[in-house]
Amino acid sequence: MSIGSAQQRRYLFEVGAGGSFQSFDDPTQLGGGTGGIGRLGIWLPLNFSAEVEGSIVNAQFKPTEDGVSVKSLALSALYNILIGSANSIYLKAGYGSTGYGDCPVSANPPEDPPCGTSRGLLAGLGFRGGLTPVLMLRGEATLTRNRSKPPDPLPSVGLSNFGVNLGLSYMLGSKPIPDADADGILDNRDRCADTPAGAQVDGRGCSSDADGDGVANGVDRCPNTVAGAAVDTNGCPRDSDSDNIPDGLDRCPDTPAGVLVDPRGCPRDSDGDAIPDGLDRCSETARGATVDALGCPGDEDGDGVLDGLDRCPRSAAAADVNAIGCVAGQQPGRATPSAAPVPAPATP
């Protein structure tokens, strides 16, 4: 029996009552009888509970058809297995006493019904089905193992009495178990109580992170982030210099805008002129040539040999120069000799 999507609850006290049927072992010579049962329990951590219960069953002594009132009292421990939001099955074990009434002063067995009180062990299996969040239909089957206490000189005999009961239980002080982080795992089972909203969790209430970027699946908008990349709160890679190499992998994180970079995020300079590709307007400049801010070489003396490669940078206009920018006979790095005569020094 289920109450749909009702939230699971934390129970405190259980009060119950119901009808019962008891069958008795052959040595008692009692026929099966009906009666009532009442119980009071307290719930403990880890789905255990403890309860005390008492019952009265009216049976008939077969030889004389006399009525016998059999009273039982037991203290039991239960292990409860929760099913859904308000249902459970349980295993039960306890110790108690069964009373068959006072023994007469002058006993006349076997004509007299069983009498006295015997103590023994109790075992059972039962279920609870939620009718409302706090009202349960409860049923169980029990086996009581004890020994008879017949008048002398008859020996005691081991007895196994079977019983079933069905009734109602009311759960006093029960409260819904909260789910503080709203991940679908109640707080009593949630091992990761601060899961971010929207994160996917396992049965323990802990989030997974498939790409290992520190942002949980379900929240991560970029679930296939490359390992080592720095990400934002959405789980997407950051790229502070906009070079398409994520922060964390970018070895040159301050690359100027527009620069072409290598796989490490560092600027490429294919012609080696110190102007990065992407900003270099003359990307095939000869090695060693002096360039301007746009990466283009100059030719100060207009001789067709680029500055930086020109060993005679002040060649006369329209001079016929060789590959290093010098006219025939001119020594590299020296100024061209003047054609004008050198004046004689003055006579004192």
Return the pLDDT at 112.
Answer: 65
Compute and round to an integer the Cα radius of gyration of the chain.
49
What single-letter amino acid sits at 267?
A: P
Return the pLDDT at 107.
Answer: 52
Structure tokens at 239: 């790229």
**N-term to C-term CA, the chain:** 135
pTM: predicted TM-score of the whole model, two decimal places: 0.57
Strand ranges (DSSP E) for 62-106? 66-83, 87-99
Compute how many other C-beta atoms are within 10 angstroms of the C-beta atom of residue 10: 15
Strands 158-172, 135-147: pairing is antiparallel
List, for residues 295-324, the tens digit of each pLDDT value: 898 888 888 888 888 888 888 887 888 888
CA atoms within 13 A on the CB side of 225: 31
> What is the rounded CA–CA span in Å between residue 165 and residue 16?
11
Return the pLDDT at 339.
Answer: 37
Q: How confident is the model at residue 154 (pLDDT cuts 50, 70, 90)?
A: low
CB 129 within 8 A of CB 169: no
Task: Provide, rounded to the nearest whole percent, the portion of the chain with pLDDT above 70.
Answer: 88
CB 81 within 8 A of CB 90: yes
Return the pLDDT at 150.
Answer: 60
> What is the rounded CA–CA span in Å between residue 266 and residue 254?
9
List, for residues 39-64, the tens digit of each pLDDT value: 999 999 889 999 999 999 999 888 88
Strand partners, 83: 87
The secondary structure of residue 44, as a DSSP letter, is: -
228: pLDDT strictly greater than 50: yes
∠ Cα 32 37 43 (to 5°): 135
The secondary structure of residue 60, as a DSSP letter, is: E
> What is the rounded CA–CA span in Å between residue 177 and residue 299?
84
- Least Cα distance to 38 among 58, 19, 64 occurs for 19
Q: How confident is the model at residue 153 (pLDDT cuts 50, 70, 90)?
A: low
Please, what sign has the CA dihedral across residues 9, 12, 15, 20? positive
Structure tokens at 268: 């490429």
336 or 89: which carries more pLDDT confidence?
A: 89
Structure tokens at 146: 């004890």
Return the pLDDT at 338.
Answer: 40
Return the pLDDT at 145.
Answer: 92
Domains within the chain, CATH numbers bracketed: 9-176 (2.40.160.20)
The secondary structure of residue 32, as a DSSP letter, is: P
**Helix and strand tally (H, E) in the chain?**
0, 10
